[in-house]
Each structure stands twice: as C-alpha cells, then as structure tokens.
C-alpha cells in the first residue's frame, strides 16, 4: 500500500475521469492522474510515481529506475504489489 | 564486498560511511528516528545499521499505518462487514491485522464478504457493479493514501453512487512526531523525514521540529544510499551546530508538497478531535474523518459502528517498538509466539513493520555483515 510504483504514461486521459493508460514493469493499467493536473504538463512517455492507483508525482527516468531498484530489492512484497496492480480494474 | 552488492554507487556509499564516522564526536551517542516504514524496510533489508559507527543508532518510528491501527478499529470494520448486504474492501496489507475478534481473513472465512483491492477506485467499480450491495472501503494510511480516498469519494459523488462508503482511518504524521517529541522515555538527535508522505505534504510542516524542538530533520529517499546520505546530512548539521529541515529526496519531494492533493484532502476530510494509535494511545487532531457534506459516503455515520476499544495483548510490546523504546528483538514474544505467519502485534504484520522487517531480513544481514567485517572493510566497526 505504501509502495510507490513508477509507471510510464502510454495514453493521456480522453475524458473527465482522469484515467491515463500506464505501463508498470510490462503491465498495462489505468491510473488516475488527477492529482497532477494542476501543476504538471503531462505527456506520453513521462514517468509518474503511483500510489494505490493514483499518480502522486511526476519523476524523471533516473528516479523511475531508482524506485524500481528499491522495489526489486523488496522481493516478495513487490511481487505482491505488482500482482495487486495487475488485478486492479478501475475503469 | 557488500558495498558493491547493495549500493548503486559503492564509492559514494563508502565515502558517506567514512564521513559519518569522522563527524562523530568522541564519547557522544547519536539516535535518529526514521518515521517511515519504507525506510525501516530498507534499513533492515540492507543491514544499514552495520555500516554506521556503533554510537550512531537508527530508531524505528510509528510510520507504518497498518502498525498503528488500534485493534478496536479492526473489530469495528468487521462489525460493518458482517452486514448481509455489505461488501467490505481493503488493501492486502490490512487482511491479516489482528483485531480483538480476529482478522479480516478470519471474518472472511466465517462468511463475511471481504475483498482485497489495490486501489479505492477498484472498490468504486465493485460498487458500480453491485448496485444491490453496500460497498465499504476500509481507508487506511498517512497522507500518502488520503488524497486517493478523497479523490474516490469525489468521484462517487460526481457519479451519484449511493452504495459506496468509506470507513476512514487516515492518520496524519505531524501529531505522531509531536507525541514522540513529548515522550519522556526517548532521547533523539534528529529525524529522517518520510519520503512518500512528504511528496504530499512537502517539507514545510516539519519546520517546527527544528525551530521549537531543536532537532534537525532530513527528508530521505528509499535507496540504501539515500538513507546513508541523509544520516550524513544530519550528522553534518549537528557537527556544524545547525538545526534545519533539509530535503535529500528533492528529486521527488517538492518543498511545498502536492497542492492539488492537499486541496482534495481538505475538501473531503477534516481532523478528528482525537484518535487512538496503537502503542501511542490517544492523540488529539491526529486523524481524519469525512466532512459533514460527505456524510452519505461515511460508513461511520451510515452504520451503527460499535466503537470497540480493545487493550493490546499483554505479551505484545508493539507500543514500545513503535516509540523506538524497544528494538524488535527485545520484545518478549518476538520470533517465538509472534511471527509473520502468526502475528500477535501489528508490527509483525506489514512488511514495513519494524518487527516483520527485522524478522525477515535483519537477523540475517547482521550475521552476514559481521562475517564480512572480519574479512574486509575497515569502515564497519561492528
């Protein structure tokens, strides 16, 4: 729950739901980017840090790699989080 | 060797470890508290304490939201879940947390409809798909997850959903740090500020810690190198007689936080007069509930919540562990009666709890480091 997962934006929201398409370690899911709307200009290819289905911060690629390193080092806890993310269906 | 294995940049890690050792005043002991469960996890996983001089100690604070949830709130949630028309939804971390009458898993086994979700938005979708049921989301977490709950409630309102509610258990980090600072049995020299919470609230709310309490705080990232760098920054402040809030994790954490996230929290939630924390007792203005305008989405108003109060099990010393007074392995039941498979206390449940992190990693890393120390690195003193 407390893990921040880095994801890459694949498609920007097409309607007012704030749901963008994101890939995380090869898994594609919808993520809410409404919390970044005010301050950040989002573009396809941007990296974001995701918490429980919401993007909390825009990050650069280097930070995305750093966050992934931390997650991989977690082992089973990350596998579980990724599995939970993969089953998430918010659309 | 271990510097090569564990650190992205072993030279920098070695340099920082040496720098920390050089900044130690002879005869002085240092204690820094990390208030974030993610940091605790990194520290134990990589045996970071073994890279620090013996007189520099890291104290693990109350930064795991699962760990600080009192047992009575679990019982209250289960009482809601036991209604025939209710689907209770919760994060996976929540499922094994013991209440006075068992955990969510136990309640599920006994017939309650309790489902694990990754996001509150998943719970919202379950509500859409089950119009004849009332779907309740067990909302837990610090400021990291509170904006997600708030956004989800706003979405439910916009859609006119009438069968979705939140059982709010969101807590706020600042009052917990205040409680720690006021605790008589703990002497700290500074804090490692939480990473993700600060993404939302920024670094400004910590300024009172430096100004009024004379303790420096460095907001830290999650890599082993981040933790070492942050400890180094704290040591440098003390050596130079400075006492400030610094942001080691500025690549993610903006000084003023995420404005939109703070706005939606304020729009949907308000501070409770008080809330019970496991181990810390009742702390005023330390948790959030839904505002009156969102009463239609507030499980506490919609259901007859029993408001159970349960004393922690006598053998369990989570309270002392959460305050950093005891190390996990000093608890009477650690690793014997209380293990991650059969947790008695909450610190053993979440992978970010100090006890579970130490149980899973710390024991081994300590032994491993001692072995490596004998062979190689002169910086590691233990």
Q: Where is B176: in which H helix or E strand?
A: helix B173-182
More confident residue, B366 or B349: B349
Model confidence at B197: pLDDT above 70? yes
The answer to whether B122 and A86 are in contact (CB under 8 A) is no
With H, G, I as helix, E, B as strand and everything else as coil, classify residue A74. Answer: helix
Q: Are B25 and B311 in contact (CB under 8 A)?
A: no
Across the interface, whether the CB atoms of A34 and B251 are under 8 A apart is answered no
Chain B residues with CB under 8 Å of A76 CB are 351
Domain A5-87 falls in which CATH fold? SH3 type barrels. (2.30.30)
d(CA B175, CA B201): 13
Give the residue on B whose Cα is nearest the Cα of A66: B223
The residues, any chain, with a CB within 8 Å of residue B106's CB and separated by 6 or more, are none
Cα–Cα distance, B207 to B211 (Å, whole number): 6
Interval A9-67: pLDDT, tens: 999 998 888 999 999 988 999 999 999 976 668 999 999 999 999 999 999 999 999 88
Q: Does domain B71-171+287-302 have CATH number 3.40.50.11740?
A: yes
Provide CATH code, domain B2-59+179-247.
3.40.50.11750
User: What ranges do the domains of chain B cover?
Assistant: 2-59+179-247, 71-171+287-302
| Contact call for B92 and A32, based on CB within 8 A | no
Residue B27, min C-alpha distance to chain A (Å): 35
Cβ pair A49:B199 closer than 8 A: yes
Q: B275 forms bridges with which residues in the sheet?
A: B283
- What single-letter DSSP state applies at residue A26? T
Write the pLDDT tens digit of every residue in B15-41. 999 999 999 999 999 999 999 988 998
| Owner of token pair 């929290």 | B265
pTM over 0.95: no
Q: What is the pLDDT of residue B382?
A: 36
Q: Is B117 helix (H, G, I), strand (E, B) or coil?
A: coil
Residue B148 and residue A85: Cβ atoms within 8 Å? Answer: no
User: What is the per-residue pLDDT for A85?
Assistant: 87
The ranges assigned to domains in chain A are 5-87
Residue A34: per-residue pLDDT: 95
Alpha-helical (H) ranges within B8-84 are 10-23, 37-45, 65-68, 71-81
Nearest by CB: B223 against A51, A70, A77: A70
Domain B2-59+179-247 matches domain B71-171+287-302 at the CATH topology level? yes
Facing residue for A56 by CB, picked from B64, B119, B258: B258
Over the stretch B65-77, which tens digit does the pLDDT of each residue have? 888 898 999 999 9
The reply to whether residue B147 touches residue A53, judged by beta carbons under 8 angstroms, is no
Residue B380's pLDDT band, with cuts at 50, 70 and 90, is very low
CA distance B43 to chain A (A): 12
- State whether B258 and A52 contact (CB < 8 Å): no
Q: Is the predicted pLDDT of residue B45 greater than 80, yes or no?
A: yes
Residues from chain A contacting residue B8 (CB–CB below 8 Å): 66, 69
Residues of A with CB under 8 A from a CB of B: 1-4, 17, 32, 34-39, 49, 51-54, 56-57, 59-60, 62-63, 66-67, 69-70, 73-74, 76-77, 80, 84-85, 87-91
Q: Which residue of A has its CA nearest to B122?
A: A90
Q: Which residues of chain B neighbour A70 with C-beta distances below 8 Å?
A: 42, 222-223
CA-based nearest residue in chain B for residue A59: B252
Q: How far is B30 from chain A (nearest CA, A)?
A: 27
Chain B residues in contact with A24 by the CB 8 A cut-off are none
The shortest C-alpha distance from B260 to chain A (Å) reads 6
Q: Which two tokens stand for residue B112?
A: 């309650």
């Amino acid at each position: 729950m407390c893990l921040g997962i880095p994801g890459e934006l694949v498609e920007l929201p097409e309607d007012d739901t704030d749901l963008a398409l994101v890939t995380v370690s090869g898994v594609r899911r919808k993520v809410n980017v409404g919390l970044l709307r005010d301050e950040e200009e989002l573009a396809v290819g941007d990296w974001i840090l995701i918490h429980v289905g919401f993007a909390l911060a825009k990050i650069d690629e280097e930070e995305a790699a750093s966050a992934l390193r931390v997650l991989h080092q977690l082992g089973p806890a990350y596998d579980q989080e990724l599995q939970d993310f993969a089953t998430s269906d918010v659309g | 060797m271990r510097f090569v294995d564990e650190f992205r940049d072993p030279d920098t890690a070695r340099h920082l470890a040496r720098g920390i050792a050089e900044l130690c005043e002879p005869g002085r002991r240092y204690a820094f508290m990390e208030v974030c469960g993610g940091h605790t996890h990194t520290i134990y996983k990589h045996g970071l304490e073994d890279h620090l001089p013996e007189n520099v100690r890291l104290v693990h604070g109350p930064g795991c939201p699962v760990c600080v949830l009192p047992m009575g709130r679990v019982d209250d949630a289960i009482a809601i879940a036991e209604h025939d028309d209710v689907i209770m939804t919760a994060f996976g971390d929540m499922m094994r947390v013991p209440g006075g009458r068992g955990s969510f898993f136990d309640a599920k086994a006994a017939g309650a409809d309790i489902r694990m979700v990754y996001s509150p938005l998943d719970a919202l979708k379950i509500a859409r798909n089950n119009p004849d049921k009332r779907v309740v989301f067990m909302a837990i977490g610090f400021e990291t997850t509170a904006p997600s709950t708030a956004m989800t409630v706003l979405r439910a309102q916009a859609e006119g959903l009438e069968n979705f509610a939140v059982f709010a258990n969101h807590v706020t980090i600042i009052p917990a740090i205040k409680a720690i600072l006021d605790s008589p049995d703990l002497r700290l020299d500074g804090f490692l500020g939480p990473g993700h919470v600060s993404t939302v609230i920024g670094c400004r709310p910590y300024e009172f810690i430096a100004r009024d309490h004379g303790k420096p705080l460095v907001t830290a990232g999650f890599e082993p190198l981040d933790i070492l760098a942050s400890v180094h920054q704290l040591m440098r402040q003390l050596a130079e007689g400075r006492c400030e809030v610094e942001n080691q994790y500025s690549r993610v954490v903006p000084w003023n936080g995420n404005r939109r996230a703070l706005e939606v929290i304020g729009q949907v939630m308000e501070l409770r007069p008080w809330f019970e924390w496991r181990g810390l007792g009742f702390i005023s203005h330390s948790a959030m509930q839904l505002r009156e305008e969102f009463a239609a989405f507030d499980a506490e108003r919609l259901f007859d919540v029993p408001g159970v109060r349960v004393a922690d099990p006598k053998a369990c010393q989570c309270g002392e562990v959460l305050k950093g007074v005891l190390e996990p392995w000093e608890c009477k039941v650690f690793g014997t009666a209380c293990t991650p498979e059969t947790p008695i206390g909450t610190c053993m449940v979440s992978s970010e709890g100090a006890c579970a992190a130490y149980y899973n990693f710390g024991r081994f890393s300590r032994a491993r480091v001692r072995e490596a120390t004998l062979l190689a690195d002169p910086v590691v003193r233990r």
